[in-house]
Structure 1
């Protein structure tokens, strides 16, 4: 193999392909990064039997070939090189990188021992890359992180014609985002449970191009899902194995009618919650006291510290009469995660009953219509007394 490419092109490609390399690979060969040079350019690939990553970039290829090299070491080296073209030569035993006066010689790994990367499934449809990245970021905040309960660490992707729904829950909160896309067939109907961490990292890394192609094959546990994006930095492809297990049926919780709606400024609510949460004791709630035209956030650490802050609010109760809910207890982290996921100036808290789930939705104007494309539900904490 003999190639030449720009330092920034090399560094970005290697960083992207190496980001999914396992920290503690089950077998040493999985720590390698596969480098293949051909007439199309140079492709850097990684695979850990669950998730694969491939990026192809332009390069001057004098001699074609394939080598396997330590991925993290190559990533560290590529970042440190001076801003000059990089010449790479390699054979079955070593790789040499020359950039200006800097020269590195690395021992290669046996290519024959590296597992075959999965093929990309047939394209299912496309979605604008920035829209997809934002949608994923809004949903993954509600995904679980306990690997002992893997079904909660995924995002359920539901495809029905020209609509994609993303749904996640960790049992204490849930988030649902619905968006339009361009399917390969308007008759398509499919579901997939995708690891939330992989989905989040992939959506963020595909924003260089205008759109992302989703490719779905098989069902949960047996199938894989692929993502492909194009941009100035090259063609990027990622596949990951779908999670197995039955995702809990939680959609009905989002259809519960509200007995009271409270609207506040998103920015004011975030700022007040951050300040008050500073004194919140572990496993205790941040209390929201609801009054006429105002809500007050309170928290305390026993007798050591207390905090409260009031912000303006619009309180609407369709049935009239006395307030159906006068106080609610939120997990401070869950509340801040939810508020931070909204891109609207105002947010609406829809209460169903004391100690029952509360649904948050975005509102473009204080007296405007609720946007239902993104909904976030938080299980309220029981208040003392």
Structure 2
């Protein structure tokens, strides 16, 4: 392999694929990236066997070839090089880097040892606008489980319903439901569970790319999904298992309904959370008579209560919630007003954005009076 590539392009590409380099690899080769030159340019790949990255970079290719070298070492080295063209050449199983009188060599492995990574080919199954996709992933993603006690809860359910995809995530204490609209009904797909990690990596990447749509292809037989963002591809395994029957906990009615300012509610919860740290982050929310009160009390720290003027329907009710769950939800709300619905102090709290179909459910906490 003999290529000349701009250092800026090489550095940016390594920053992308670096997300797929295993920090504690099961196999030594998984700490490496694979660099491959073809007539069309240079490809750089990485994988930890759960998620893989591929990026195509424009370069002047004088000789085709490939090599596998340490992703960390190469990235650190490239970060020290001056701007401008860099020459890359394979010498046996090592990569030689030369520019402006600097010559470095990074030891590598035979490229044949590197795992095979599928590439995006043929037509896509779905094409989604970047803005819509990112917004829905961020909204639903706050409800994803953070530990692997139940691996299926570390994913987001994609349920295909005629001309839309229902997105669902839960950690057992809260439930986020969103959706993506499809231009045409997608046949042959029912339910898939996509790892939240892959979706969040997708959000990070599209935020830095000037693209308007993301192409998605499902390899059902291989239990894989491939995202294509411009010249970048992300390949991820689908999660196996049964997603919890979320429909069963969806309340069908409410006895109390409140319309409250998102900004005022956020500030009130933040204030109360200061005094809730020693009591499992529990804050109380009392709703009724056109008032919503958020409070917390600690014998050691003190107390806080904030009253907010709101629009209410139905009975007075007091509920207790984990303040962290409330703040994470409010952090991804786009609307100025939030609707809170409840059937009682120990029933699920239903949160909606005014004018939006998206629903977020938070289970209340039982507390002593």
Q: The residue matched to 2:244 in structure 1 has which SS?
A: coil
Alignment of structure 1 residues 318-337 onto 2, 5 Å = 323-325=315-317, 327-337=318-328
| Cα contact 1:351–1:357 (8 A) shared by 2 | yes
Where does residue 250 of structure 1 map in the other structure? 246
Alpha-carbon deviation of 1:324? Answer: 4.2
Q: Contact conserved, 2:73 with 2:106, CA < 8 A, in 1?
A: no
How far has the Cα of 1:14 moved from its partner? 0.8
Please report the TM-score for the alignment, with normalisation by the length of structure 1: 0.90
CA deviation vs aligned residue, 1:192-221 (integer Å, no higher than 9, x gap): 1111122111233134211111111227xx
Distance 2:189 2:237 in 1: 19
Equivalent residue number for residue 170 of structure 2? 169
- Measure the CA separation in 1 of the matches of 2:27 and 2:235: 20
Q: Secondary structure at the match of 1:276?
A: helix
Work out the CA distance in 1 between the residues paired with 2:163 and 2:214: 15
Q: Distance in 1 between matches of 2:79 and 2:310?
A: 50
**Distance of 1:273 and 1:253 partners within structure 2:** 25
Q: Which stretches in structure 1 are left out of the alignment for 5+ residues?
A: 318-322, 364-369
1:83 Cα deviation after fit: 2.3
- Work out whether 1:288 is the aligned partner of 2:288: no
Partner of 1:313: 310
Distance in 2, matches of 1:238 and 1:146, equals 23
TM-score, structure 2 normalization: 0.93
Pick closer, same or farther for the CA change 1:159–1:103 going to 2, 3 Å: farther
The alignment partner of 1:137 has SS state of: helix
RMSD over aligned Cα atoms:
1.8
- Which of 302, 324, 333 aligns to 1:342? It is 333
Q: Counterpart of 2:68?
A: 68
* Cα deviation, residue 269, structure 1: 1.3
Post-superposition Cα deviations, 1:11-40, rounded to whole Å, max 9, x if no partner, equal 111111121211100011111100011111
Q: Which residue of 2 aligns with 1:14?
A: 14
- Aligned position for 2:47: 47
Please report how far the alpha carbon of residue 3 of structure 1 lies from its aligned counterpart in structure 2 after TM superposition.
Answer: 1.4
Offset at 1:182?
3.9
Residues 247-286 of structure 1: matches in 2 within 5 Å?
A: 247-280=243-276, 281-286=278-283
Q: Is the 8 A contact 1:162 1:181 kept in 2?
A: yes
Matched, 1:217 2:213: no
> Deviation at 1:188?
4.4
Report the Cα distance in structure 2 between the residues aligned to 1:110 and 1:324, rounded to whole angstroms.
70
Counterpart contact for 1:17–1:44, Cα < 8 Å = yes
Q: 1: CA distance between counterparts of 2:50 and 2:251? A: 35
Equivalents in 1 of 2:160, 2:258: separation in Å?
32
Question: Which shows bigger deviation, 277-286 or 47-56?
Answer: 277-286
Match of 1:378 among 342, 362, 367: 362
Residues 67 and 91 in structure 1, CA contact (< 8 A), matched pair in contact too? no
d(CA) in 2 for partners of 1:179 and 1:2? 44
Tell me: CA distance 1:126–1:255, structure 2 relative to 1, closer, same or farther (3 Å).
farther
1:119 is displaced (CA, Å) by 4.2
Per the alignment, residue 106 of structure 2 pairs with 106
Q: Secondary structure at the match of 2:23?
A: coil
- Contact kept in structure 2, 1:289 and 1:328, CA below 8 Å: yes
Q: Whole-Å Cα distance in 2 between the matches of residues 303 and 88 of structure 1?
A: 63
What's 2:237 paired with? 241
| Contact 1:348–1:361 (CA under 8 A) maintained in structure 2 | yes
Change in 2 beyond 3 A, CA 1:357/1:96:
same
Superposition deviation, residue 147 in structure 1: 1.0
For residue 170 of structure 1, report the CA deviation from its aligned partner.
0.5
